[in-house]
Amino acid sequence: MANDAPRFTPYTHPAGGWGAAAATAKVLLEQSVLTTGSRALLSMNQPGGFKCPSCAFPDPECRKTLEFCENGAKALAFEATKHRITREFFQQHTVTELMAQSDYWLEMQGRLTEPMRYDASTDRYVPCTWDDAFALIGRHLKALDSPHQAEFYTSGRTPNEAAFLYAIFVRAFGTNNFPDCSNMCHEPTSRGLPPAIGVGKGTVVMEDFDHAEAIFVVGQNTGTNSPRMMTNLVEARKRGVPIVAINPMPERALIRFTAPQDVIQMATFGSTEIASEFVHVRIGGDLALFKGLMKVLFERAAAGEPVLDQEFIRAHTTGFETIRDETLTHDWAEIVETSGISEAQIRRVAEIYIRSRATMICYGMGLTQHQEGSRLLQQVVNLLLLCGNFGKLGAGIAPIRGHSNVQGDRTVGIDEQPPQAYLDRVRDVFGFEPPRAPGHHTVAAVEAMARGEAKVFVGMGGNFVRAVPDTERSYAAMRQLALTVGISTKLNRGHLVHGRDALILPVISRSEIIRTSSGEQFVTIEDSVSKVTASRGVLEPASPDLRSEVEIVCRMAMATLPDSRIPWERYSQDYDLIRDKIAAVYPDIYADFSERIKSPTGFHLDVPPRRRVWPTENGKANFLLFPGLAVNAAVADPSMLRLATVRSHDQFNTTIYSMNDRYRGVYNNRMVLFINAEDRAERGLSDGAQVAVETISKDGVTRRVEGLTVIDYPMPRGAVAGYYPELNPLLPLEYCDRISGTPAAKSIPVRVVAVRADSAVGG
């Protein structure tokens, strides 16, 4: 499917409902998996079955219904597809030819079936044995001058057992170079929250949704990216709980949503109004909004109203006066101008917050992907602390994670800045001295490749080159490498932008059975609310020549570290042995892992702030000052617009399921730019005009994407949006949050350039 002329038809139905049911059936049919797929769906997220490979939203503790959503079903259908990529496929297409195909086309070719090695003489991937593949990896890694010349990427589908051993292997090899997808995603959560509350994770569990008296959903497109959370929001609305949605895009599902499993509501075409307040914030305007809310609280407290939880603040926190005094320096005009929200609405939202005795704040990429994402999240904590919204039922902070095991991978060691205590445990348990210096995160890894320092890239899942910023520079950097290894289920761009040597290693997916000499194995994952559950695939592997991620890690280790005393071979056969080692390295949270995982509904890892215990340096929860109202550097250019790169309803990150974005009313084409009609008219453009977009930056590099169609959309003034990954060429590598290294993908300063004579150039 190519990009045809885009069609824009506003979606007037509630999100979810029959539209979602129809879309689910259609995709199962298209991937020819109606029977296997439907059978597998019955096991998805059920005790004894496998965890949905899509998002990290938790399962309900006691819901009896089928537990999947339209997009989970899509993820499964595309994983369980009947289509296969064979050696004949690679024989028919050179890599250069494949490079000319779209991401969508590559995905549609189906599952990878056997290991392949790049052959430069024919520009083709050719079959190779697993033994040869591991030998090649071992040879390259052993030939490096320093272990720091290798980068070991992880994407968040990799289960705990594989990630834990990968972390041990790479540290035994000698580096902490662990770029991972989290570095582009919730890293501000992992780095920003610890100084404030002592943990870099969310503090809520599923049960809290049933007790919250107000729920904030900030910078998250729930209906598309965490659809199962919609059930919680619908239930909360039915209890009369106010929901405050804060977003520059009026996302359909946050306005009206019908739960596809709610049969009565579907039969009567009813729907639930979701947001009681939709706050149409400007891109990056959240800081000003939060300060406005806090200002209302401080003003009313000063007037004698009991709006703050003084006792909690006294007993548990530090820094209150500092943030109060700074907040009060901002006047309303400044707050309203920066946030784009009227004082009246800010006061209304503050009223909701004040009345609620238990508030949850959920957030996604709309808050993390800014230049000061980490410090912005600390302001969310400030707001929660003011009313004691930690350590009580229904309250807390809820980062809604992306990949299904991205949180778990970090917990078990995928961390370029590992805590020294973890390294000590690794030394004691495994008997080697791990490297102590911090390694590379994603942006640093690309920089090391570009400088020619990094030589080897191993990708445990994911699609690194497509996910990272600055596409052109990143492609060039990858192409300089000596070896690239893609450990994957599906063909993607990452296999085509490769090093001098390159391998594609196909893996058994989440929904498939893993058999070893010790019998069928299961793996575990940790969801967004720190709950660990077992995942056991039910389908036959897509090909007999696939290997599990655990086995691939073990065999890379054996090929690279022949003298290692770690029993890699035994781990690859018996995953209980790996879980015993996880328990040994993390006695505080994973004690008795093998026993506890027998519970069909899993178990929660301890999150101390839930008990009002703060593992910070001073043992307190800390109000942290972030002066001013700006989360992104100012740009002195009157033509500047802020661009947010977002997901459509029909994609999973770099995997494109179709060219449509149903809830936003866009069909046939992803090369669109959502723009406010006034911003558009001011630039002399007509609705539907063809434009190019250019990044405004001082580094002398021209970053430009052509072939975009402008679409009038209810965006705030000065804000535009378009799709990731097509717009990644516009995002400069250095344009990231300093604390976490997370690229500021939601706030790229751009200008729009008309490309047709009939529409004048806008600045």
Interacting residues with Mo ion (CB under 5 A): 185, 402
Q: Quick check: 246 binds ligand MGD (CB under 6 A)?
A: yes
Extract the tokens encoding 444: 């640093």
488 binds, among ligand MGD, Mo ion, none (CB under 5 to 8 A by kind): ligand MGD
Minimum distance between the CB of residue 107 and ligand MGD, rounded to whole angstroms?
7
Smallest separation, CB 360 to ligand MGD (Å) = 16
Instruction: Name which position in 133, 167, 215, 487 contacts ligand MGD (CB under 6 A).
Output: 487
Which of the listed partners (Mo ion, ligand MGD, none) does 43 bind, with a CB threshold of 5 to 8 Å by partner kind?
none
Assess whether the previous peptide bond of 725 is cis (omega < 30° from 0): yes
Nearer to ligand MGD, 528 or 622 (CB): 528
Least distance in angstroms from the C-beta of 489 to ligand MGD: 4
- The tokens for 350 are 């503050």
How far apart are alpha carbons 74 and 78 in whole angstroms? Answer: 6
Distance CA 737, CA 725 (A): 19
| Residue 440: DSSP 8-state | -
**Are 501 and 481 within 8 A, CB to CB?**
no
| Kind plus residue range of the DSSP H or E element containing 691 | strand 690-695
- When the beta carbons of 175 and 632 are compared against ligand MGD, the nearer one is 632
Q: Is 404 helix (H, G, I), strand (E, B) or coil?
A: coil
Q: Figure out which of the listed residues 109, 220, 484, 521 binds ligand MGD, where binding follows CB under 6 A.
A: 220
Residue 286-325 contact track with ligand MGD, rule CB under 6 A, x = bound: x---------------------------------------
Label residue 285 exposed, middle or buried (CB < 10 Å: 0-12, 13-18, 19+).
buried
Site string for ligand MGD, 442-461 (x = CB under 6 A): ------------------xx
Q: Are 736 and 371 in contact (CB under 8 A)?
A: yes
Shortest distance in whole angstroms from residue 286 CB to ligand MGD: 5
Residue 364 binds ligand MGD (CB under 6 A)? yes
Q: How far is the CB of 238 from ligand MGD (least distance, A)?
A: 23
| DSSP strand pairing (501-506 vs 7-8) | unpaired
404 contacts ligand MGD (rule: CB under 6 A): no
666 contributes a contact to ligand MGD by CB under 6 A: no
Are 508 and 539 within 8 A, CB to CB?
A: no
Residue 162 CB, nearest approach to ligand MGD (Å): 8
659 binds ligand MGD (CB under 6 A): no
Within 274-293, the residues that bind ligand MGD by CB under 6 A are: 281, 283-284, 286
Least separation in angstroms between CB 13 and Mo ion: 28
User: Which three-class secondary structure string do you get for 197-231?
Assistant: HCCCCCCCCHHHHCCCCEEEEECCCHHHHCCHHHH
> How many angstroms separate the Cα of 514 from the Cα of each of 580, 638, 640, 728?
19, 57, 52, 36
Partner interacting with residue 248 (select from ligand MGD, Mo ion, none; CB below 5-8 Å by kind): ligand MGD
Query: CB of residue 157 vs Mo ion: minimum separation in angstroms?
Result: 11
Residue closer to ligand MGD, measured from CB, 144 or 168 = 168
The full DSSP string for 372-396 is THHHHHHHHHHHHHHTT-SSSTT-E
Work out how close the CB of 644 gets to ligand MGD at its nearest, in angstroms, rounded to a whole number: 4
Instruction: Please select the residue that binds ligand MGD; options are 20, 33, 40, 55, rule is CB under 6 A.
Output: 55
Rounded to the nearest whole angstrom, what is the least distance from the CB of residue 151 to Mo ion in the complex? 19
Query: Residue 487's binding partner, choosing from ligand MGD, Mo ion, none, with beta-carbon cut-off 5 to 8 A by kind?
Result: ligand MGD
Antiparallel, parallel or unpaired: β 603-604 and 523-526 = unpaired
What gap in Å lies between CA 210 and CA 395, rounded to an integer?
A: 10
Residue selected from 261, 271, 651, 759 as contacting ligand MGD according to rule CB under 6 A: 651
What's phi and psi for 627, nearest 5 deg?
-65, 150
Judged by CB under 6 A, the residue of 190, 271, 389, 488 near ligand MGD is 488
Options 155, 258, 339, 374; binder of ligand MGD; rule CB under 6 A: 155
* Cβ atoms of 696 and 261 closer than 8 Å: no
Interface of this chain with ligand MGD, residues 603 to 632, rule: CB under 6 A: none
Q: Where are the alpha helices (DSSP H) in 259-360?
A: 263-267, 286-302, 310-316, 320-328, 332-339, 343-355
DSSP structural state of residue 241: -
Question: Considering the rule CB under 6 A, would residue 652 count as an interface residue with ligand MGD?
Answer: yes
Could you say which of 93, 490, 531, 670 contacts ligand MGD (CB under 6 A)? 490
Q: Which does 731 bind (CB under 5 to 8 A by kind): Mo ion, ligand MGD, none?
A: ligand MGD
* Ramachandran class of 377: left when φ > 0, alpha when ψ lies in -120 to 50, beta otherwise: alpha
Rounded Cα distance between 179 and 177, Å, is 6
Of Mo ion, ligand MGD, none, which one does residue 220 interact with (CB within 5 to 8 Å by kind)? ligand MGD
Select from 36, 189, 247, 411 the one that contacts ligand MGD (CB under 6 A): 247
- Asked if 71 touches ligand MGD (CB under 6 A), the answer is yes
- For residue 442, the minimal CB distance to Mo ion (Å) is 12
Q: Does 196 bind ligand MGD (CB under 6 A)?
A: no
Residues 715-754 touching ligand MGD, rule: CB under 6 A, are 724, 728, 731, 745-746
How far, in Å, CA of 192 to CA of 317, rounded? Answer: 17
Listed in sequence order, the residues at least 6 apart from 49 whose beta carbon sits closer than 8 Å to its beta carbon are: 42, 43, 535, 536, 538
Q: Confirm if 177 and 449 have CB atoms less than 8 A apart.
A: no
Q: Point out which span in 12-20, 129-137, 481-489, 523-531 binds ligand MGD (CB under 6 A).
A: 481-489
Distance CA 578, CA 342 (A): 55
Among ligand MGD, Mo ion, none, the one that 155 touches (CB under a kind-dependent 5 to 8 A) is ligand MGD
When CB distances are held under 5 to 8 angstroms depending on the partner's kind, the choice from ligand MGD, Mo ion, none that residue 736 binds is none
Task: Please report whether residue 473 would count as binding ligand MGD according to CB under 6 A.
Answer: no
Using the rule CB under 6 A, is 645 a contact of ligand MGD? yes
Identify whether the C-beta of residue 571 lies closer than 8 Å to the C-beta of residue 577.
yes
Give least dist CB 186 to Mo ion, A.
7
> Could you tell me how many helices (H) and strands (E) the chain has, helices first?
34, 33
CB 394, CB 384: distance < 8 Å: no
Strand partners, 604: 531
Considering beta carbons, is residue 90 or 430 the nearer one to ligand MGD? 90
State the Cα–Cα distance between residues 580 and 576, nearest whole angstrom. Answer: 6
- Considering only 498, 510, 579, 662, the residue that binds ligand MGD (CB under 6 A) is 510
Nearer to Mo ion, 389 or 488 (CB): 488
Size of the site for ligand MGD (CB under 6 A): 59
Nearer to ligand MGD, 271 or 463 (CB): 463
Minimum CB distance to ligand MGD, residue 350 (Å) = 17
Q: How far apart are CA 255 and CA 126, in angstroms?
A: 51
Does residue 287 contact residue 341 with C-beta atoms inside 8 Å? no
List the structure tokens of 317. 């926190």
**For residue 471, what are its two tokens?**
């596409």
- Give me the phi and psi of 630, to 5 degrees please: -100, 130
The answer to whether the CB of 53 falls within 8 A of the CB of 75 is yes
Of the pair 218, 398, the CB lying nearest ligand MGD is at 218
Using CA atoms, how far apart are residues 703 and 549, in angstroms rounded to an integer?
37
- Of 109, 113, 225, 658, the residue at the interface with ligand MGD (CB under 6 A) is 225
Tokens of 277: 């307040």
Judged by CB under 6 A, which of 73, 128, 181, 230 binds ligand MGD? Answer: 181
Reported residue count of the chain is 763
Binding residues for ligand MGD (CB under 6 A): 54-55, 71, 155, 157-158, 181, 184-185, 218-221, 224-225, 246-249, 251, 281, 283-284, 286, 364-366, 369, 402-403, 460-464, 467, 487-490, 492, 507, 509-510, 549, 644-647, 651-655, 724, 728, 731, 745-746
